[in-house]
């Protein structure tokens, strides 16, 4: 009898171990009984039961990941493998809200980017990819994940994607980042081919809009939520210059002030710096001959703040303003997507309410 009880206990332990294990499917080969431990430079890192050595596989080659206890993420992965990309993006967004570890948030960002690429959201996929390229210093695995779904028929979407890449290529060459430049150049060549084949933009799509400067940074509110000292020194001075009614001269001063300290800001200060930087460029775009270039640069700042710091208090406003920039560039599809993401991710906030109003205006 005792032998039977011991054997039953052992069996239960084995069953519990089997049900709690993660799984990684790489190039259709399943790694069952795994424990996912992290993400590094575009690769998912896991360890198999009984083995001491970690295994790393490029996310570009991973079909599906299942992680015990991450139900929303697992639903997203199921939809992703079935190529139901819009559904996958919704679940990834919901999973991000409940993610507790930094590596889990990073994994969701990679997979959400891949879903966006699959869904044909070209300009947003490119912005996400460029942010990941910056963070990984153009790692081999992240380069391999470059947006592949370039068969977009929307001419304005192609123009926006091209502008974003051209600006980033300019920066890469200026900084002598040969790896990043080499990754961008073939994408630009493919987009140029797509533009030649794309039909003219539909009515209302691609039409130039007045530059929407939006509400400047509310320093008092943000300081109250983040704590005294976050908006101090250059950050506070630059934000003060961008109060309502800021002119081009004030915006130029604010921009110079922010960019002079960009390499010294702390992790807590960076989302605020990026938000202020983008808003200064929006103001300048209203009176500059380089309107499109400035708007694209503003959009990059907003998307970097929203994608790299999704839990910061600046993220909701940054995502909202990314939508306004796309609307100003005439990219209605990308604007609608940014507004939709603001509404879903930051439900109940002032930014979400403004995004809903902006969405209603687009659909009117």
Distance (Å, whole) CA 185 – CA 149: 16
Q: What is the DSSP letter of 215?
A: P
pLDDT given for residue 244 in this prediction: 61
- Residue-level pLDDT at 209: 54
Closest by CA to 273, choosing from 307, 228, 304, 296, is 304
Give the pLDDT confidence score for residue 10 in this predicted structure. 37
Q: Is the CA virtual torsion 109, 111, 117, 119 positive or negative?
A: negative
Beta-carbon contacts of 111 under 8 Å, excluding residues fewer than 6 positions away, are: 59, 65, 76, 77, 80, 88, 92
Say how far apart CA 181 and CA 173 lie, in whole Å. Answer: 7
> Residue 4 has what pLDDT?
42
Compute how many other C-beta atoms are within 10 angstroms of the C-beta atom of residue 172: 22
What is the pLDDT averaged over residues 54-71? 95
Per-residue HEC secondary structure of 173-208 comes to HHCCCHHHHHHHHHHHHHHHHHHHHCCCCCCCCCCC
% the chain with pLDDT above 70: 82
Residue 9: C-alpha distances to residues 1, 6, 17 (Å): 12, 5, 12
What pLDDT, on the 0 to 100 scale, is given for residue 222? Answer: 54
Task: Give pLDDT tens digits for 220-274.
Answer: 555 445 554 555 677 888 888 887 667 888 888 888 888 887 878 888 888 889 9
Mean pLDDT for all residues in the chain: 82
220, two tokens: 């008092």
- Looking at per-residue pLDDT, the higher value among 152 and 182 belongs to 182
For the stretch 298-354, pLDDT in tens is 888 898 888 888 888 888 999 999 999 988 888 888 888 889 889 988 888 888 999
DSSP 8-state assignment for residue 294: H
pLDDT (tens digit per residue) in 123-149: 889 989 999 999 999 999 999 999 998
Q: How far apart are CA 189 and CA 158, in angstroms?
A: 12
Residue 5 confidence (pLDDT) above 70: no
Q: Give the Cα separation of 358 and 364 in Å (integer).
A: 10
Contact 107, 96 (CB under 8 A): no
pTM of the model: 0.63
Distance CA 2, CA 206 (A): 77
Confidence of residue 81 (pLDDT cuts 50, 70, 90): very high
Q: Which fold has domain 219-363?
A: 1.25.40
Name residue, tokens 């960002």: 109
**Per-residue exposure over 86-100, b if at least 16 CB sit within 10 Å of its own CB, e if not:** ebbbbbbbbbbeebe
- More confident position, 158 or 54: 54
pLDDT digits (tens, 9 = 90+) for 272-305: 899 999 999 988 888 777 788 888 888 888 988 8
Backbone angles phi, psi at 48, to 5 degrees: -85, 150
Domain extent listing, the chain: 22-113, 125-197, 219-363
Q: What is residue 12's predicted lDDT score, i.e. its pLDDT?
A: 39
């Amino acid at each position: 009898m005792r032998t039977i009880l011991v054997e039953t206990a052992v069996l239960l332990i084995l069953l519990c171990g089997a049900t709690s294990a993660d799984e990684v499917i790489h190039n259709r080969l399943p790694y069952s009984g795994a424990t996912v431990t992290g993400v590094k430079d575009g690769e998912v890192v896991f360890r198999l039961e009984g083995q001491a050595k970690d295994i790393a596989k490029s996310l570009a080659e991973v079909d599906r990941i299942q992680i015990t206890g991450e139900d929303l993420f697992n639903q997203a992965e199921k939809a992703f493998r079935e190529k139901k990309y819009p559904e996958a993006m919704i679940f990834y967004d919901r999973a991000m809200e409940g993610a507790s570890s930094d590596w889990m948030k990073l994994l969701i960002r990679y997979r959400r980017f891949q879903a966006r690429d699959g869904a044909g959201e070209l300009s947003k996929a490119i912005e996400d990819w460029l942010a990941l390229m910056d963070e990984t210093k153009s790692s081999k695995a992240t380069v391999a994940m470059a947006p592949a779904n370039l068969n977009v028929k929307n001419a304005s979407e192609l123009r926006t994607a091209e502008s974003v890449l051209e600006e980033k290529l300019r920066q890469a060459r200026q900084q002598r980042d040969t790896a990043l430049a080499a990754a961008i150049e073939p994408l630009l060549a493919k987009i140029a081919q797509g533009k030649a084949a794309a039909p003219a933009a539909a009515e209302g799509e691609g039409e130039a809009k007045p530059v929407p400067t939006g509400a400047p940074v509310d320093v008092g509110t943000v300081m109250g939520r983040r704590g005294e000292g976050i908006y101090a020194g250059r950050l506070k001075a630059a934000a003060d210059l961008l109060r309502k009614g800021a002119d081009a001269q004030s915006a130029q001063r604010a921009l110079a002030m922010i960019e002079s300290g960009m390499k010294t800001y702390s992790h807590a200060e960076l989302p605020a710096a990026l938000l202020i930087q983008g808003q200064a460029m929006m103001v300048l775009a209203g009176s500059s001959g380089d309107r499109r270039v400035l708007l694209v640069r503003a959009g990059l700042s907003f998307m970097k703040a929203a994608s790299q710091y999704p839990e910061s208090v600046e993220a909701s406003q940054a995502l909202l303003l990314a939508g306004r920039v796309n609307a100003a560039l005439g990219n209605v599809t990308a604007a609608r997507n940014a507004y939709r993401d603001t509404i879903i991710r930051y439900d109940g906030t002032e930014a979400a309410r403004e995004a809903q109003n902006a969405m209603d205006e687009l659909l009117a």
